[in-house]
């Protein structure tokens, strides 16, 4: 499509250009925005938006102009809600953006529709979420237990250091992507699928042996009836962890995690 008259790519389309993750939508559109008083309409598969933005919020890539990372993140939150917005805002921080950048991008939206979604995403955004699955899983955990997880939590086990996707107290929640159990020839990361499945079992057991309750969550758990059941399952697991091991994370695990991070940094691929 030929973009003219000050239009720039925005929302989902800017995400695709900038390499930011996007949750699949039922009716994806091409989204473009140009300066003007806040308004939006759809025609011929194109979502057109009028909104105020500054020249500094526009970047060019591959010959196309788009709203920058931070403005795209808060725009996704405002238009699509917290779940989609959090996925993008997490990615903005993960790729080097700052929370202050998100706040600055949102400043002009004070009285715009969807502003509460924007504020929530800015508050909850976490660079420790390494994938969209980890972002939506963290949002599910917050809904289930009312507490914010600590992301990329390292645990020393008899199998070496294991990095848990997120921990709440003594409850480890693992966002298990199917790609880990798919052979490389089929687009996965496993050289030996059977061995990868067995290693995953041993990994989970090693985490449990350190006094953590483990809740695996997969992509399908986030949608429709499965989400309701998963929220309840995670809530029960958190109650069990609090009852058996206490509400606060074991001080020994915290000390070890601090030592590991001093050596390895904030996160490391598990």
Q: What is the mean pLDDT of residues 197-205?
A: 92
3-state helix/strand/coil string of 104-142: HHHHHHCCCCCHHHHHHHHHHCCCCCCCHHHHHHHHHHH
Would you say residue 184 has pLDDT above 70?
A: yes
Would you say residue 269 has pLDDT above 50?
A: no
CA proximity to 237, closest of 215, 211, 206: 215
266 pLDDT tier (thresholds 50, 70, 90)? confident
Would you say residue 182 has pLDDT above 90?
A: no
In eight-state DSSP terms, residue 190 is: B
Phi, psi (deg, nearest 5) at residue 211: 85, 35
* Predicted local confidence at residue 268, as pLDDT: 55
β-pairing, 58-61 with 46-50? Answer: unpaired
Q: Identify the weakest region by mean pLDDT among 163-167, 179-183, 260-264.
A: 179-183
Max CA separation in the chain (angstroms): 63
Would you say residue 244 has pLDDT above 60?
A: yes
As to burial, measured by CB atoms within 10 angstroms (0-12 exposed, 13-18 middle, 19+ buried), residue 270 is middle
CA proximity to 104, closest of 147, 56, 150: 56
Residues 6+ apart with CB under 8 A from 15: 21, 22, 72, 76, 88
Would you say residue 181 has pLDDT above 70?
A: no
As to burial, measured by CB atoms within 10 angstroms (0-12 exposed, 13-18 middle, 19+ buried), residue 257 is buried
pLDDT greater at residue 178 or residue 213: 213
Mean pLDDT of the chain: 92
Measure the CA–CA gap between 142 and 148, rounded to whole angstroms. Answer: 6
CA proximity to 121, closest of 71, 159, 64: 71
* Predicted local confidence at residue 24, as pLDDT: 79
Q: What is the mean pLDDT of residues 108-135?
A: 96
Q: How many CA atoms lie within 13 A of 200 on its CB side?
A: 17
3 pLDDT tier (thresholds 50, 70, 90)? low
Measure the CA–CA gap between 123 and 211, rounded to whole angstroms. Answer: 30
Q: What is the mean pLDDT of residues 189-197?
A: 79
Measure the CA–CA gap between 95 and 69, rounded to whole angstroms. Answer: 9
């Amino acid at each position: 499509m030929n973009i003219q008259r000050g239009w720039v790519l925005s929302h989902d389309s800017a995400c695709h250009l900038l390499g930011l993750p996007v949750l699949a939508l039922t009716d994806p559109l091409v989204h473009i925005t140009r300066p003007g008083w806040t308004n939006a309409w759809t025609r011929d598969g194109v979502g057109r938006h009028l909104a105020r933005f500054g020249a500094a919020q526009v970047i060019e890539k591959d010959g196309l102009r788009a709203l920058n990372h931070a403005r795209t993140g808060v725009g996704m939150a405002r238009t699509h809600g917290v779940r989609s917005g959090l996925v993008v805002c997490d990615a903005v921080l993960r790729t080097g953006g700052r929370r202050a950048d998100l706040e600055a991008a949102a400043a002009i939206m004070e009285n715009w529709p969807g502003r509460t979604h924007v504020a929530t995403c800015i508050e909850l955004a976490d660079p420790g979420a390494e994938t969209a699955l980890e972002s939506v899983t963290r949002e599910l955990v917050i809904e289930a237990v009312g507490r914010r997880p600590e992301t990329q939590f390292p645990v020393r086990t008899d199998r070496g250091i294991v990095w848990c996707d997120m921990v709440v107290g003594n409850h480890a929640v693992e966002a298990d992507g199917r790609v880990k159990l798919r052979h490389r020839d089929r687009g996965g990361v496993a050289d030996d699928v059977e061995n990868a499945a067995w290693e995953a079992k041993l990994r989970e057991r090693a985490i449990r042996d350190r006094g953590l309750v483990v809740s695996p969550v997969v992509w399908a758990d986030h949608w429709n009836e499965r989400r309701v059941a998963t929220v309840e399952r995670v809530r029960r697991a958190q109650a069990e962890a609090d009852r058996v091991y206490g509400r606060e994370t074991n001080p020994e695990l915290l000390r070890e995690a601090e030592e590991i991070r001093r050596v390895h940094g904030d996160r490391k691929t598990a």
